[in-house]
Every structure is written in C-alpha cells, then in structure tokens.
Amino acid sequence: MKMTFRWYGQDDPVTLDNIRQIPNMTGVVSAIYDIPVGQVWPIERIQALVDEVHQHHLELEVIESVPVHEDIKLKRGHYQQYIDNYKQTIRNLAQCGIKCICYNFMPVFDWTRSSIDHVLEDGSQALVYYQDEVSQLDPTKLTLPGWDASYTPQEVGELIVAYQQIGEEGLWENLAYFIQEIMPVAIECDVNMAIHPDDPPWSIFGIPRIITCEENLDRFISLYDDPHHGLTLCSGSLGCTVHNDIPALIRKYGAQKRIHFAHVRNVKILEDGSFEESAHYAKCGSLDMVDIMRAYVETGFEGYIRPDHGRMIWGEQGKPGYGLYDRALGAMYLGGIIDALKGK
C-alpha cells in the first residue's frame, strides 16, 4: 500500500517539502489545473509536473483528476473529439510514468457541501452537508473550490435541464460508451482507470447520479471486463449514507482487484441524513476506520491510498478540506492501524 497526499501544485499552501516530512508518505497525487476541460494535456506540462515532484524525492504515479467534459457525459456536441482528446491525454500521462488516473462522471457539480468552513464543537472547521441548507441553495449560483467555473449561471441551468431530460439510464448509456472508448487505450498503456463515486451518493437538484451504491458499482464494473477498469473507493463519499457498508465493499471489490485508489476519511452521519466531515479517528465519526483498514490488509491491497479531506485545525488557513495538519494526522493514524494489523 502506497501512502500518498493530494497536492494542488505551486499555488497550494501545502508545499512538497511539508509533505515529504510526513514519515509514511511515498508520494503525491496531483493534476494540471489550468488546462481547459476537454483539451489534451501536453507531454511537456506533464513531465514538468513529474520532475518537480521528483526533485523533492516524492513519487507522482496517480493523477487526480482528468476531468470529463460535460459534452461526453451528455453525448452531445463535440463529445467524440473530447473523447479522442481524453485518449491522447491517457497516452501522454503514461509516457510520463503515470500508472493510475482518477476521474468522475458526476453531472455538472463535483463534490457538494452546504458549508466549507463550519465550526465544529472542538473549534476546528470542516466541510458539512446539511440537507435543509442544500435544499435552499440556487444551483445556478453555487460555486465550490475545484468546480469548473467556466460556465455562466444560464449555462449551468441549461446543463441541469439537459441531465434531467436524459435521466439515470441516459447517463448510464453515455458512461458505457465512454468506457468502451477509453479502456482499450488505458490497457494498451497499462494505466489503471479509477472512477470516483458521486459525492454525496444521491441525486441533488434533480440531477441523476449513478456511482452511488453496491448495485451500481456492480453495474459499473460489468461495463468492461478488464482489471484496468476499476474504482477509486472513497470511504467519505460512499460512507456518508448508512446504506453503504464500506468494509464490505472493500472486501468485495478488493478481492476482485478492482480497487486502484483508496480515499480514506471519516464522516459523522446525522439523524436527518446530513453529515459532517470529521477527524479520521474512528470515534469522531460514524465509520469503523479500523475495519476499513483491516479490509484493505485482508484483501492484499497494494494500490495507492491517501488520507482524504481534513479539517482546518490549529489556526491553519488554506484550501478547504485540504490543510496540512489534519491530513498529516490522518496519514499517521491510518499508517499506525496498518502496522498494527500487520503485526509490525
């Protein structure tokens, strides 16, 4: 298992030198964030990123993420050109030593929260999703860090209507087409494609979401019969509903060798189905973090793992969910569990 840390490039307040000082860290996962969605990532830009990470004695073998253009998800407009561009980006990444690509197929919006700086009882700040607050939001005016901000409110509204019209089955059909197109290239390049589940794993603003539960993960896996076609199993995304048993999912798909990237974090599920992101420590949230890590150890998981979102603690200012201190604590906590389970 390779412990990694998400790094947002030179503009990230968390530096590569900071990350290198975390004892059990092997490398970072990153991306090129200023290339418009749908365009090919140039080899020169990829290699420059890889070289910068290597200069700090860290690995860069996972890209998170290569965004999928909305035209692909809707199978409209220039979707085929965007798919061809995606294929070329896979080839370019492989040429620079990338072994795993994380991506998602969430319509319009990436991860969604009602607040990114909610003050918890202990004084730390965390990302939260409160159902009553989300229901009052205007999705055409909503922006969160990491979202594609190139769309106008009118365009967002039009996208929402378009997805409502194609529904879940239409989205499944378009995902299946995309997978059939890109997987031969990924296999040829020996790159693992790891889809990230929807966050949260239910429909928001009337927009269909499909990577949400065991039944749908089974359906996704069945789209292509090759181990390069797999999952980013995110405990925080799938685990923010009581209907998903995260250790059981890990044991099932881990045994199939379909988990390529593990996002591990804890969440506290509230009575109305809302949730708060918590410290990784098991007693702070609703997930059995020890059993989650036991499932990875039992299934012989040898892929990439990272402590996912963290709170802002000790007065740190930075990218919401991606401060240094709480994620570093999470990495050490998870590493300690692994060592204990392996009897080291």
Residues designated catalytic: 196, 234, 263, 308-309, 322
Report whether the peptide linkage leading into residue 150 is cis, meaning its omega lies within 30 degrees of zero: no
C-alpha closest to that of 196 among 178, 182, 209: 209
Q: Which residues of 120-145 are buried (b: 16+ CB within 10 A; e: fewer)?
A: beeebbbbbbbeeebeeeebbebeee
Neighbours of 244 (CB within 10 A): 18
26 neighbors 4 (Cβ within 8 angstroms): yes
Question: Alpha-carbon distance 135 to 202, whole Å?
Answer: 13
Complete DSSP assignment for 15-31:
-HHHHHTSTT--EEEE-
Tokens of 129: 């999703």
Contact 232, 195 (CB under 8 A): yes
Question: Pairing between strand 100-103 and 115-119?
Answer: unpaired
Could you tell me which residues are beta bridge partners of residue 264? 307
Among residues 69, 322, 280, 104, which one has the least CA distance to residue 201?
Answer: 104
